Structure 1
Amino acid sequence: MSCFGYCNDCGEIHELPSALAIPHCHDLMAQLSAHKRIDFDVPLALADPRLSTHILYSNMRGRMFGILVCEDVSGNEVILRAFSSRHNGVWNVKGWVPPLVDEHAFVAEVERGNLDIHPLTDLIATLPKESKEWYSKLAERRLVSHGILAKLNALYTFHNFKEESRSLEEAFQLKKGIPVGTGDCCAPKLLNYAAKNHLKPLSIAEFFWGKETASGHRTEGSFYASCEEKCQPILGFMLCGVNKLLHS
């Protein structure tokens, strides 16, 4: 099982198997390898240069990609695919599931936050290091940063397979800080899209593509479970109701 999470509501672990999705992941790897871009559904003449896979082999390194195999209400197979976070700054790409958050609202919130953060950063740079005022302004910037993050987190809404929806703060199952980027990985994107569009999820798998991570813990073409820090604390809620669907 590569996709699972503990559900506080049910007091149990919800999960999805990977077997059916793995061949589709290999097909996707072949497409990425052959076309060297993620908008391979469009003719080369119309390709967006920002969507080249070249960025995955730079110092930015690779990213996770995922496949979710589903059935629609008529029993037809539906294959969904996702990439983690943004690709070279691009949020939405035709043929890939969208992010959970509205990109324009997110960018606008970041820009408003920068109006508060940047002057503080500039001021801190002029102060004597480790002075009383330096420490005071560092603390002030930390509070402002936390406030901005809270506003960004509030833009995310998560859906599950019991037709329930929750904010990020409500869906996150752990009593600790929510990591930056929670909700931007492949599994949450795929499951949220399926839940909102009344698709029955059957199988999910995620793989890494591009230059290996600096630690060497993730290498191209290898499969990995949904991350422990960001995904598993929300997947319990997001997968709630899936077992009933699988056995219906």
Structure 2
Amino acid sequence: MQRCVVVGRRYPSSSSAIIEKNEREKKKKCSRRFRRSSTVVGNNNDNDDDGRRRNQINLKANERANERRKQAVIELSKREEACKGYCNLCGKTHTLERTREAEEVAKALLEKLRKQKSVSDEDESGQFLVEDVYDQRTGGKMIGVLLCETTTTTTTTTSERKVLKAFSGQWMGEWVVPGWCPPLARLTHDSLEYIEEREKIEKLSEEIKRLEKEASWSSSGSSGTAATAVTELKTKRKNMSRALLERIWDSYSLPSFRKERKMSEGDDDDNSDNSNSSSIRSSSDIENNRRKLVELNIRKCYYGDASKLPCGCGDCAAPKLLAECARKGWKPIAIAETWMGPNVKRGAGLREEGVFYGACLERCRPILGHMLCDAALELE
């Protein structure tokens, strides 16, 4: 019988065709597997290339966005743009500049604070430590000064310069620090109303945790009942938190330098017939007709969508300074805000100690127009 040799082995000639066919099939399968693997590798490489291209595009887009934000910060930090906003009441844009004199006062304050143990000259308990603001993780604070003018009338009228100082937000958890401008919100975490509401919300949170724990090891029927109760309590807690936040916003009262005359009862139309128009008003009538500041809730003076007030609106240094100045009856002359603490990344870029910045775009400027209204008028 004729024999053939394949791969070093002998097979009958009748089987040679089958063997050769099997070998060809193996080669085809190997070839197909190679092509598939090559395609997968090629696709993976294409996907990797696409991913790298997308990452590069996103990186460049982020760089451009950061550059735009930095340029915006630079523009807002110009002396003539330091404190500016549009007033809904009078329809005008009001501005308060940052002057070299104000910058020097702010620098002197910064140097003084660095040498002190406490930020408050009246603090004897060591509660408001300067070192806290230099913490690398949580430190850093924007501080500001406002140069003001006040008049004293005796035999002659004389003017005097005053300086107010304020910090943004809280000082390490405290809203009120002696010697610094107070917050604009009357309802803070120190208020009894706030404390009572927070206690109610925390009790709900504890009850929710208890029910969730019970539902985890209860039977299916009782766990379903507990889950329903948890859902109801979470909804109640959410509504209570929202209501508390609304009351906090309601407590923000923002004064402006614009004044309106407070009329006495004798000037009402109903009583005009009973009054003698030629008579001289008494001193009490004159007192009742004194001019008072126009104070509005933050929602009414916010230039923009007041239903979406940004968190921290009204808590920065500039609004605190202007509010205190208006309530004291002083006239604002110039403002300066600078960073105190470690250099950190915040928002549009680096915050550096000793560098002067303008009022923030989203939280401050929409309300500064109202607060600066009639600030340029002479003191009465």
Q: Percent identity?
A: 31
Distance 1:91 1:183 in 2: 13
Pairing 1:188–2:319 present: yes
Structure 1's 229 and 123: CA in aligned 2 closer, same or farther, altered over 3 A?
farther
Whole-angstrom distance in 2 between the partners of 1:13 and 1:134: 50
Question: Which residue is equivalent to 1:203?
Answer: 334
Q: 1:176-226 CA deviation, whole Å, 9 max, x = no partner?
A: 322333222111111011111111101011111112345453222222111
Q: Quick one: distance in 2 between partners of 1:106 and 1:179?
A: 22
Question: Are 1:96 and 2:177 an aligned pair?
Answer: no
Matched, 1:34 2:115: yes
Cα distance in structure 2, aligned partners of 1:221 and 1:70: 22
Summarize the Cα distance change of 1:105–1:50 in structure 2 as closer, same or farther, 3 Å threshold: closer
TM-score (normalizing by structure 1)? 0.85
Change (3 A) 1:104 1:72: same
2:355 aligns with 222
Instruction: Give the secondary-structure state (helix, strand or coil) at the position aligned to 2:162.
Output: strand
**Larger Rg: 1 or 2?**
2
1:21 matched to which residue of 2? 102
- SS class of match (1:15): strand
- State the Cα distance separating 1:147 from its structure 2 match: 0.6
Structure 1 window deviating more from structure 2 (116-125 vs 204-213): it is 116-125
The TM-score with structure 2 as length reference comes to 0.57
Greater RCO (Cα-Cα under 8 Å, separation 6 or more): 1
Taking structure 1 as reference, are residues 134 and 221 closer, same or farther at Cα in structure 2, changes over 3 Å only?
farther
Aligned in 2, Cα 1:212/1:36: closer, same or farther, shift over 3 Å?
A: farther
Aligned residue in 2 for 1:171: 301
CA offset digits 1:71-102 (Å, max 9, x no partner): 10232111111112222333333332222344
1:11/1:101 Cα in 2 relative to 1: closer, same or farther (>3 Å)?
same
Give 1:82-121 correspondences, 5 Å limit. Answer: 82-102=166-186, 107-121=191-205
SS of 1:145 mapped into structure 2: helix
CA distance in 2, matches of 1:89, 1:224: 23
**Cα distance in 1, alignment partners of residues 88 and 188 from structure 2:** 32
In structure 1, runs of 5+ residues without a counterpart are: none
Q: Aligned letter for 2:116?
A: H
Q: Find out whether 1:71 has 2:155 as its counterpart.
A: no
Output the amino acid matched with 1:159.
Answer: P
Give secondary structure in 2 for the equivalent of 1:38: coil
Amino acid at match of 1:37: S
- Specify whether residues 152 and 138 from structure 1 end up closer, same or farther in structure 2 by C-alpha distance, changes over 3 A only: same
Q: Which runs of 5+ in 2 are unaligned?
A: 1-80, 152-157, 217-226, 259-292
Contact 2:146-2:164 within 8 A present in 1 as well: yes
- The equivalent position to 2:377 in structure 1, one of 221, 244, 248, is 244
SS at match of 2:182: coil
- The CA distance in 2 between the partners of 1:137 and 1:222, in whole Å, is 48
Q: State the secondary structure of the residue aligned to 1:184.
A: coil
Aligned length: 242
Query: Comparing 213-222 with 49-58, which one deviates more in the overlay?
Result: 213-222
- Alpha-carbon offset, residue 108 of structure 1: 1.5
Mapped to 1, the partners of 2:195 and 2:369 lie a distance apart of 32
RMSD: 2.7
Counterpart residue number, 1:232: 365
Shift of 1:112: 2.0
Distance (Å, rounded) in 1 between the aligned partners of 2:360 and 2:238: 26
1:20-58 per-position Cα deviation (integer Å, ceiling 9, x unaligned): 31110111111012224312x35xxx6331111111122
CA distance in 2: counterparts of 1:30 and 1:241, whole angstroms: 33
* Distance in 2 separating the partners of 1:114 and 1:214: 32
Q: Which structure has the highest helix share of the two?
A: 2
